[in-house]
Amino acid sequence: MASMMDRIRDYLRSPKGQEHVEKVKTMAKDPRHQRKIRDYVDRWRARRTHH
């Protein structure tokens, strides 16, 4: 049986996976998405320091 990582790797190499990778790359360049990600990471880090 293929491991989870093998299945992910196979998906990312597939045409549909490549389509999603390109979409994510495009979204990552958008300043609005960068701000959302930064805010999420900041909240996650703050939560981890309180535990």
Give the number of domains in the chain.
1
Angle at the Cα of 13 from the Cα atoms of 37 and 30, rounded to 5 degrees:
25
**Residue 48: inside a domain, yes or no?**
yes
Helices marked H in the chain: 4-13, 15-29, 31-49
Residue-range definition of the domain harbouring residue 48: 26-51
**Residue 36: inside a domain, yes or no?**
yes
**Residue 6: inside a domain, yes or no?**
no
**Residue 34: inside a domain, yes or no?**
yes
pLDDT at 49: 79
pLDDT at 6: 96
Copy the structure tokens of residue 17: 């996976």
**Residue 32: inside a domain, yes or no?**
yes
Copy the structure tokens of residue 43: 């909240």
**Residue 47: inside a domain, yes or no?**
yes
**Residue 43: inside a domain, yes or no?**
yes
In tens, the pLDDT along 2-51 reads: 899 999 999 999 999 999 999 999 999 999 999 999 999 999 999 887 66
